[in-house]
Amino acid sequence: MGNICGKSENEAFSQPGRVLGSAPPQPQRAPVPAHVGGPPRTLGGCSPAAQGNSGDTDDARRRAAEAAEARAQAASAKSSGKLGAQLAAQKKQTRNDTLQEISNNERRQRDADEAARARIHH
């Protein structure tokens, strides 16, 4: 079987080769600049030519903040049913409210345990 894509003749060696060192001269490389002008910039900073347009970046930041606030308000405005209402109420609790609720639960648990012990002893 033969190679479909290959050629029957060996064309790579059909002509004589060349002598070592007789290759055509390579183009010279461009010199590296010794100093690149301008002050150093942070990543994502604007170019010195665009520094006059800092109002554009402030405006873009303001618009992005407004959009984020609108998304947050839209997400919180959705009614998510009973569980969502309970979660919202829990998020509104302060630390003292939470501790008070835990304390009340512990008291009720102790009272229930005492009532159970009293029933067993009778």
pLDDT digit string (tens) for 37-46? 777 767 765 5
Cα 94 to the chain's mean position, in Å? Answer: 31
Report, as an integer, the average pLDDT of 97-118: 94
Asked if residue 46 lies in contact with residue 54, where contact means CB atoms within 8 angstroms, the answer is yes
pLDDT reported for residue 46: 58
Task: Tell me if the pTM is above 0.75.
Answer: no
Mapping DSSP to helix (H, G, I), strand (E, B) and coil, where does residue 69 land? helix
The more confidently predicted of residues 85 and 36 is 85
pLDDT reported for residue 110: 97
The more confidently predicted of residues 88 and 80 is 88
pLDDT reported for residue 67: 92
Report whether pLDDT(105) > 90.
yes
pLDDT reported for residue 6: 64
Alpha-carbon distance 114 to 107, whole Å? 11
* Predicted confidence (pLDDT) per residue in 43-69, tens digit: 765 555 555 556 678 888 999 999 999
SS3 sequence of 80-102: CHHHHHHHHHHHHCCHHHHHHHH
pLDDT reported for residue 35: 73
Q: What are phi and psi of 28, to 5 degrees?
A: -70, 145
Per-residue burial over 23-43, b = 16 or more CB atoms within 10 Å of its CB, e = otherwise: eeeeeeeeeeeeeeeeeeeee
Q: How confident is the model at residue 79 (pLDDT cuts 50, 70, 90)?
A: low
Alpha-carbon distance 57 to 55, whole Å? 5
Nearest residue to 48 (alpha-carbon basis) of 36, 32, 60, 61: 36
